[in-house]
Amino acid sequence: MKPVSLSMRLGLTVSILGALLVVSLAILAFFALTHELDTLARSSLDKKLQQVEQHLSMYDDTADVSSKPHSLLDQVMGHDNLNLTIYDLTNLRKPLLKFGSGLSDFRVELKEASATGDKITYSTYTDDEGRHFLTASKLIRLKNGVSVPVLLSMDCANDEALLNAYLRSTIIALPLLLIFIGISAWAVVQRGLSPLREFRKVAAMISAQDLSHRLSVVKMPQELSELAHAINFMLHRLDSGVQQLSQFSDDLAHELRSPISNLMGKAQVTLTRERSAQEYKTVLESCTEELGRVTRIVADMLFLAQVSHPAALVPFETITLEDEALKVIDLFSLSAQEKQISLNVTGNGKTIGDRLMIQRAISNLVSNAIRHCPAEHSISVVIEKHAKHISLLVANPGPGIESQHLLHLFDRFYRVDTSRSRGEGGTGLGLAIVRSIMSLHQGTAQVQSVTGEITVFSLHFPDIAGQTTWQQARKAQA
């Protein structure tokens, strides 16, 4: 089944709910009205009957009633819908007094009259023409002590006409009202959802080549503008990701091109003429060194790919950071000694992670620090415990890094001084690897530098408790 459109569905739902509401209101109003009209009729009959009683009590006997009915008739005169009938209990065949056109059925009246008591009783009656009557009856005492049954009845035709008019107008208005409600709901939803066309337009324009389109959030309802913001943000991230990727493959090609063209050139030059064995050997040796560089770049790239998208769960263990730092320092101490640089480690802390990766991150930072530290200075590795995380800082004095480079320092192949570090054998991936390793550990890598004074690289590991839960979540996911 084809799903019905949202606006249609909402329009229908609102119409049905509206119908339920209006119908139940109408029914409620009908009953309330009926009840109210009935009460009104009774109370007016009641009042009238009291007036009749007042006058009737001044008559001497039954004969008096039939001979001088005027003061009684005055009471009901002018009320077209009122009928007054008075009987004589001794002779029920013929009423003492009869006024009004109603209650033509004699027998019914007779039955009423005979049943009349001292208290007012009410009864309803429908005649052959379908007219409804409400009758109030009571025994009223005359001056001579004789009681006569008095029947005062009211034709309810007016009330019925009112009710009928109400019902008719409701029945006519109801469908129109419902159609109006339904259409309004449909229109409101249509209008509210119209920005979705904008979504569709932008979605149609987006491809891997062009991720620059954004949704305009002006005049959008709040729910949709939040969605649009989220989509815009997603597009932004995708865009920068794709740009980074293409930048990265450019850089990679560039990085590999120079050693490969060196190799090619060197080999071609060597082959153009006969050379001594020693010369061939030298060329091969230099080629091997150059290839070593290519291999390192490729190995680093593979490592980065592996760390960024680990195919399998890397088992984490508890790592004592100062031990790992000391091990790395041990490795670098000779290189540092050559430059008369002293290395020291202070502080302690534990985290969980992959030992090899953490060693590698520390090693990359220390190696950079030694490279940029001037001779006869010292490099310090400091481990600090904070409330939420553990930091490992590698600080070295030196020329520092200008602030415009700081933001890109952890990017792949980013180099502050292009010619220098390449000559010294770096692959340009060291800090990118550090960042990837840290993000695999749910941590961050940062750098701060004061030009001409000091440069501090810091690794922030989340505290063990936080990491443990994260690790469990990772396991549960895997």
Contact residues toward other proteins (CB under 8 A) are 284-289, 291-292, 295-296, 298-300, 302-303, 306, 310-312, 314, 327-328, 330-332, 334-335, 337-338, 356, 359-360, 363-364, 367, 425-427, 430
Q: b/e string for 285-304 if b means 16 or more Cβ within 10 A? A: eebeebeebbeebeebbebb
Rounded (to 5) percent helix, strand, coil in the chain: 60, 15, 25
Radius of gyration of the chain (CA): 52
Tell me the C-alpha distance between 308 and 54, whole Å.
Answer: 106
Q: Which is nearer to other proteins, 208 or 311 (CB)?
A: 311
Smallest distance from the beta carbon of 408 to other proteins, in angstroms? 20
Q: Which is nearer to other proteins, 195 or 426 (CB)?
A: 426
Q: Which is nearer to other proteins, 277 or 334 (CB)?
A: 334
The distance of Cα 43 from the centroid of its chain, to the nearest Å, equals: 59
Q: Which is nearer to other proteins, 232 or 262 (CB)?
A: 262
Smallest distance from the beta carbon of 388 to other proteins, in angstroms? 29
Smallest distance from the beta carbon of 345 to other proteins, in angstroms? 16
> Which residue, among 413, 406, 422, 419, has the nearest Cα to 456 in the 3D structure?
406
> Which residue, among 301, 303, 319, has the nearest Cα to 441 in the 3D structure?
319
Contact 400, 457 (CB under 8 A): no
* Count of CB atoms situated within 10 Å of the CB of 227: 17
Structure tokens at 289: 């060194």
Tell me the C-alpha distance between 74 and 65, whole Å.
Answer: 13
Smallest distance from the beta carbon of 202 to other proteins, in angstroms? 37
Q: Which is nearer to other proteins, 334 or 465 (CB)?
A: 334
Smallest distance from the beta carbon of 326 to other proteins, in angstroms? 12
Q: Which is nearer to other proteins, 101 or 288 (CB)?
A: 288
Q: Which is nearer to other proteins, 112 or 354 (CB)?
A: 354
Smallest distance from the beta carbon of 303 to other proteins, in angstroms? 8
CA distances to 18, 288, 388, 419, 436 from 292, rounded to whole Å, are: 79, 6, 42, 19, 23
Smallest distance from the beta carbon of 259 to other proteins, in angstroms? 13
Q: Which is nearer to other proteins, 221 or 310 (CB)?
A: 310
For 42-115, strand residue ranges (E) read 82-86, 97-99
Smallest distance from the beta carbon of 305 to other proteins, in angstroms? 9
Contact 350, 385 (CB under 8 A): no
Structure tokens at 100: 């009004």
> Which residue, among 158, 152, 160, 99, has the nearest Cα to 123 in the 3D structure?
152
